[in-house]
Structure 1
């Protein structure tokens, strides 16, 4: 038997020291990322430099293998996260320069669905965490209330979920966008980690009642289908579901929520990994009364809504305009137009700046061949594509 050189307590003390050193280094690296952004203001270079990122990763992978016995996959995964954070920090800095009136506001009133601990609440905090803005949080009971709270001036921003990788598009939000006067000013993709939470550790067969928002219910349908004899009750948000379980304080009741938010309500996870898909993400949009300026150095998205005539090939004609100008479409969603049977409104996300020559030329052509066309917003793309590495 190998003799232990250090006691477990000594090992843990050393690990804590190393972890603290890592946090300090990550903090220093973040400060340097801001310095990089400042230098790019002078040179007008884009935030992302694919060649530089690839060279950095190759060097780190080789050093990790040769000097520290760290495998390539571990280093790649770690630095993809660090690079993503650096890119988003630089984008936030440049956006503040492009919108100085927003950066001067120390407070932001943000409306979202549900109470503290809802996924919309978590998305709100995540989005504004890079903007050094203190939040006044306004929880709402429905998506329409979120939009109305911003439109009325009682909130500066609204955060709305718009699509999920498991359950698809959130139609109620798309329908809201058809009639709102608000603009999309940002986006965020949040990992969704559903689990069952309850007041105490219990066996699944002892559950009689389960509370959930309709979206998590749909995203966990396969797991829920295997539960027998359980009454499913709908709540306005995941936070409301967890709050209900806390108030009932019964050992036979649980909610679909997430572990971190469950702690807010004194609940503990009793079953994890219950979603239909292990990679479960929700995309949120941030809306405001005024559109934002997007720095040309930042990758941007533009969202349009349009309707076409019912003549054969009308929709195809609009999409060919985008193709002709080399504009990449990332989303196409259709929704019925209320009061106009068999007519549809199309929502289109494209990866380009609204002010780019290609987009302006495309809009001129689209205006001529559509019945209705509106720009819902141009905003920084939060989708940081991982740097591809080719090792020789």
Structure 2
């Protein structure tokens, strides 16, 4: 079974992929998030795995926009603790490192450690790509901040582990599938929808009262602009109940009457949190 993710080998997304599906699946790296959606839509892969939220950096808004724009369905959520590792070429020593390459978010999350070691932060496109570049380079005074998996893949030396300042740093991922590929025996415990309110005072409040009426606990509410319609917004909401429950069906039916539109983005098992 092929599963698509954004990034190259060793990316945190690949770690999340294997933590959910196991080691026997084939992970397929993609250059961009929309390439993951294209791979799922074309049938080139069975499922895709995308990050949607981080406890420090917040929502990955691009992927919410892509969920709205594509006819895919969320069938699972996955939580991955983010444990940053300082990696360098074999034989390198921590005291000799002068520069650390990584994604800006990773660098920021490890700022205190890098400052204590007088290591200069060098932003790059992604964590695994930084590890690959350092591994293929010839400098032993450069390091990368990436996953521990990168040390195994690119034959690198681990100079320091768990160098992030916030130990609760966690990323939430969605597993997406074409609607015809949704498992028939899928047990659901959470649901994510997108909706657009009508234009009158209190329109959003009227929609939110529906969730209260049916005792649905909202775990997320966020707005995103509609590029084609300036100053108009789509709201994304997640609540802790599955689509098969009668109160969820009633709530979505009533929401449809109040909103301009409602799109069901997915209903999936509630993942066990890792913090």
Whether the aligned pair in 2 keeps the contact of 1:310 and 1:343 (CA below 8 Å) is: no
In structure 2, the partner of 1:216 is: 106
Whether the aligned pair in 1 keeps the contact of 2:81 and 2:274 (CA below 8 Å) is: no
Q: Deviations over 1:151-204 (max 9, x none)?
A: 111111100011111111111211211211111011110111012211143345
In structure 2, the partner of 1:379 is: 268
| Shift, 1:241, TM fit | 1.4
Distance 1:260 1:138, change over 3 A: closer
In structure 2, the partner of 1:113 is: 6
- 2: CA distance, partners of 1:213 / 1:385: 23
- 2: CA distance, partners of 1:283 / 1:231: 26
- 2: CA distance, partners of 1:365 / 1:192: 39
Whether the aligned pair in 2 keeps the contact of 1:124 and 1:159 (CA below 8 Å) is: yes
| Shift, 1:135, TM fit | 1.4
Q: Deviations over 1:34-74 (max 9, x none)?
A: xxxxxxxxxxxxxxxxxxxxxxxxxxxxxxxxxxxxxxxxx
| Alignment partner of 1:274 is 2:163 | yes
Distance 1:215 1:384, change over 3 A: closer
| Alignment partner of 1:356 is 2:249 | no
| Alignment partner of 1:365 is 2:258 | no
Structure 2 unaligned regions, length at least 5: none
Whether the aligned pair in 2 keeps the contact of 1:259 and 1:268 (CA below 8 Å) is: no
Counterpart secondary structure, 2:209: helix
Match of 2:58 among 168, 183, 186: 168
In structure 2, the partner of 1:97 is: none
In structure 2, the partner of 1:125 is: 18
TM-score for both structures, normalised by structure 1: 0.64
- 2: CA distance, partners of 1:121 / 1:157: 13
| Alignment partner of 1:335 is 2:224 | yes
Whether the aligned pair in 1 keeps the contact of 2:98 and 2:118 (CA below 8 Å) is: no
Whether the aligned pair in 1 keeps the contact of 2:104 and 2:123 (CA below 8 Å) is: no
User: After the TM superposition, which residues 140-179 of structure 1 pair with which residues of structure 2 at under 5 Å, given as runs?
Assistant: 140-179=30-69
| Shift, 1:230, TM fit | 2.7
| Shift, 1:310, TM fit | 3.5
Distance 1:253 1:304, change over 3 A: same
Q: Which has the higher contact order (CA 8 A, sep 6+)?
A: 2
In structure 2, the partner of 1:207 is: 98
In structure 1, the partner of 2:234 is: 345
Instruction: Please tell me whether Structure 1 or Structure 2 has the larger radius of gyration of its CA atoms.
Output: 1
In structure 2, the partner of 1:12 is: none
In structure 2, the partner of 1:390 is: none
Distance 1:221 1:177, change over 3 A: farther
- 2: CA distance, partners of 1:359 / 1:168: 27
Match of 1:188 among 75, 78, 85: 78
Whether the aligned pair in 2 keeps the contact of 1:166 and 1:276 (CA below 8 Å) is: no
Distance 1:221 1:339, change over 3 A: farther
- 2: CA distance, partners of 1:238 / 1:385: 22
The more displaced of 271-280 and 158-167 is: 271-280
Match of 2:196 among 307, 318, 324: 307
Distance 1:378 1:267, change over 3 A: same
In structure 2, the partner of 1:322 is: 211
- 1: CA distance, partners of 2:185 / 2:216: 18
| Shift, 1:374, TM fit | 0.3
Q: Deviations over 1:237-277 (max 9, x none)?
A: 32211111111131121111123432221112223333241
Whether the aligned pair in 2 keeps the contact of 1:162 and 1:170 (CA below 8 Å) is: yes
Whether the aligned pair in 2 keeps the contact of 1:294 and 1:380 (CA below 8 Å) is: no
Q: Deviations over 1:110-149 (max 9, x none)?
A: 10112221111111111112xxx84122111111111111
Larger % of strand: which?
Answer: 2
